[in-house]
Structure 1
Amino acid sequence: MDKFTAYWSHISSGDRILILMGGMIFFWLLEGYYPLFRFSFKRWKHAGVNLIFLGTTLALNLIFGLVTIKVCLFVEAHQFGLLYWLGLPTIWSWLIGMLFMDFFGQYLPHWLMHHIKFMWKFHMVHHSDTKVDVTTGTRHHPGEWLFRETSTIIGILLIGVPVGLYFLYRSCAALFTHFNHANIRVPPAIDRPISWIFVSPNMHKAHHHYQRPLTDTNYSNIFSLWDRLFGTFAYEDPRNLRYGLDVLDDTTDEKVGYQFKIPFDSSIKTDY
């Protein structure tokens, strides 16, 4: 366990990028062989649009992500937070930390963005994709990053997350994001058992249905526990789903300028 924690505490930027891009490339290739839906679209153009949003996220991480790292270092230096106060063995401490980071880093801000109108307008950019695939997981408006990172920092302080655990969480979160959004065909006999503990591809696809109430379900990213605990879990046959949003024109999903302006366009009506 010492070697494991030491690796994540000192993981290089190269390894972190390799995990991020390697997972995306793997599922991108897998989509070509075992697609859930056979979309009539240009995969490279679609990916290019979504990767523009990935670029803004990476830029924000480079500029402001240091704040998050400094909070982790503060937590370590002062032995601050729930995990330090409990004094559990490292393996249990990190497992509990991963579970609660999924709540603060994903479930909580995700739930808020679906229930607070001004936050939802930013999150609409992610849901506006009418051809959900592995690149959709990177499609987030810069404003959404601020909501998520703020909640993540709060979680780090409350839980007591050291920098190594934070990097492990980020890497696992990225891989699950690729896995859950990938346009891959997973038989229900495999997908359903996965969803008992983790967020599975078919489970998350229900969240991308174009209409409520399915849109307002399945907020977790790694562990399905949070959705089951708070009554937001849903499971639907992917063949019954349609991606996008009923308040947006489907033809706007690859218009980058339009997408960036969605949060500030008062003519776009929402139900929130």
Structure 2
Amino acid sequence: MEVIKSYFENMPTLHRSMLLVGGISFFWILESGIPLFNFKYNKLKHAWPNLFFTGTTVIINFALAFLLLQTSFWVDENQFGLINWLPEMPLWAYITLGVLCLDFFGAYLAHLVEHKVKPLWMVHLVHHSDHKVDTTTANRHHPIESVIRFAFTLLGVFLVGTPFYIIMLYQSLSLVFTQFNHANLKMPRKLDKILSYIIVSPDMHKVHHHNLLPYTDSNFGNIFSIWDRLLGTYMELDREKIVYGVDTFPDEVKNSDLVELLKQPFQGYRKPTNLDEL
């Protein structure tokens, strides 16, 4: 664990870039070979707006990174935060608990709030309006959402008390996992199910991208599935029955147009239809 700590304390920017590009490339190739859905689409054309939003997410996170850095230094120096108030524990437990808690604030809680607060849902809608979910969908977030997500991560760093190396480890894992669980992969059902008891598997997350409630409001996690299971937001749906998108924003042409996506948060509030209303 000391090796892991040392690496993420001094992780080169180049390695972070390689993780992003390499992850997208790896899952792009993998999903092309064993796709869950045989989409009839121009993969490069579909990827364009998603990769644009990936770029804006990187820029925003880079621009605001000094806030994470300063907060992590302060909590570490002052031994502030949940994991620093607990009895002394082995390094592996300290790191695991730190990543687990950051996953709650930076992914689960942020995601849940975006679905429950009307203006934030309209911002988050850009992510859900992709009709062909694949690994490029992972970082399809409106720039406003990137700021919102960053704010929740910053709150997590402050309350949990995570030092910088745990933040770097969490962000690296978060990046890989979001690419993995959005990828259009057809994994063996049993393997996917087993994985879903610990981590957010592809089939588990695809339920969240179904176009109707209550499935849209389920499975908010990114790395660990524990938060959905503990807090009652875990749901299952046969992957063959999943329909991507949001039924109240059905225009796939507009939902694939970058300019329309940038304007999407400012349209009238419309939540997906609930199955009980049909």
TM-score computed with the length of structure 2 as normaliser: 0.95
Distance 1:220 1:269 in 2: 23
Secondary structure in structure 2 of the residue aligned to 1:269 = coil
Structure 1, residues 214-267: CA drift from partner, whole Å, max 9, x if none? 00000000111100011110121111010011111222121110001111123x
Partner of 2:10: 10
Partner of 2:252: 250
Tell me if 1:241 matches 2:249: no
Distance 2:40 2:177 in 1: 26
Distance 1:22 1:218 in 2: 26
Distance 1:15 1:166 in 2: 15
Secondary structure in structure 2 of the residue aligned to 1:234 = coil
Shift of 1:271: 5.9
Partner of 2:178: 177
Distance 2:23 2:140 in 1: 16
Matched AA of 2:22: G
Distance 1:70 1:6 in 2: 19
Tell me if 1:70 matches 2:70: yes
Tell me if 1:31 matches 2:31: yes
Partner of 2:266: 264
Tell me if 1:104 matches 2:105: yes
Shift of 1:269: 2.8
CA 1:235 to 1:63, structure 2 compared with 1: closer, same or farther past 3 Å?
A: same
- Tell whether the 8 Å contact from 2:254 to 2:261 is kept in structure 1 after alignment: yes
Tell me if 1:212 matches 2:205: no
Partner of 1:79: 79
The count of corresponding residues between Structure 1 and Structure 2 is 271
Structure 1, residues 132-152: CA drift from partner, whole Å, max 9, x if none? 000000100011112211111
Structure 1, residues 104-149: CA drift from partner, whole Å, max 9, x if none? 0100010001010000000000000000000000100011112211
Matched AA of 2:19: I
Matched AA of 1:250: E
Distance 2:4 2:201 in 1: 26
Structure 1, residues 60-110: CA drift from partner, whole Å, max 9, x if none? 112112211221121222222121222222111110111111100100010
Distance 2:97 2:124 in 1: 28
Partner of 2:165: 164
Tell me if 1:88 matches 2:95: no
Shift of 1:3: 2.0
Partner of 2:124: 123
TM-score computed with the length of structure 1 as normaliser: 0.97
- Tell whether the 8 Å contact from 2:248 to 2:272 is kept in structure 1 after alignment: no
CA RMSD of aligned residues (A): 1.2
Instruction: Say which is worse superposed, 156-165 or 72-81, in terms of deviation.
Output: 72-81
Structure 2, unaligned runs of 5 or more? 274-278
Distance 1:89 1:192 in 2: 30
Matched AA of 2:144: G
Distance 1:118 1:171 in 2: 29
Partner of 2:190: 189
Shift of 1:8: 0.5
Secondary structure in structure 2 of the residue aligned to 1:108 = helix
Matched AA of 2:155: I
Partner of 1:20: 20
